[in-house]
Amino acid sequence: MSNPPTYSIVIIPPQSVRNQLIRLRRMSLLMDGMYPPHITVKSPFFLRQTGARVLDQIQLISRNHSPFPLVLSGLASFDESVIYVPVANNPSLKKLHEELVEGLAGYVETISEDFDGPNYSPHLTLAHRLTQSEFARIWPRLITQNFHWEFLVDKLYVLGSMPKSKLQWKIELNGSSCFSSEPL
């Protein structure tokens, strides 16, 4: 029996930012390329309820949030194994994260709660699972670049864990949701 699929709730930057990030990924095979560039809002989870009930709950929470500006700026790392662009302090994003974590508690089973609640550190991963030698090779090339993007967050995406699957949902803040199978 195969493992059940996992899902994450994410912010996908606008196409212009994604294009720049994809060019960065191409400069090194070590950079994260399995999923579209994104900022995780709710860490990976399994469904406890049907997908429709979970989506209804996400939509209900999202309706109470207006679009908000988001700034990605700088470069940082977690223990020389992950390189990322931090999200500037953003109370709207933190509140959305908190409400999703609380509001989905009975609907989903979070795989690891290490990244939710007070430990939530929003960022956009550039490279992960790096060895020390890989980090030493890629960090000097990235640290010289000026990473800075600003954009309006007006929707969330629910992405599945199966890279070959195009299954995803787009949920507008202060709006509606729809099934979307278009590539990101």
Domain segments of the chain as ranges? 7-70+90-129+151-180
DSSP state of 39: E
pLDDT, tens only, 23-59 = 877 766 556 566 778 899 998 888 886 777 888 899 9
Using a cut of 0.85, tell me whether the model's pTM lies above it: yes
Q: Give dist(CA 148, CA 156) in Å, integer.
A: 21
Q: What is the CATH number of domain 7-70+90-129+151-180?
A: 3.90.1140
Beta-carbon contacts of 34 under 8 Å, excluding residues fewer than 6 positions away, are 163
From CA 73, how far away is CA 138, in angstroms rounded? 18
Q: Enumerate residue ranges in the chain where pLDDT < 50.
A: 164-166, 183-184
Residue 139 parent element (H or E)? helix 132-143
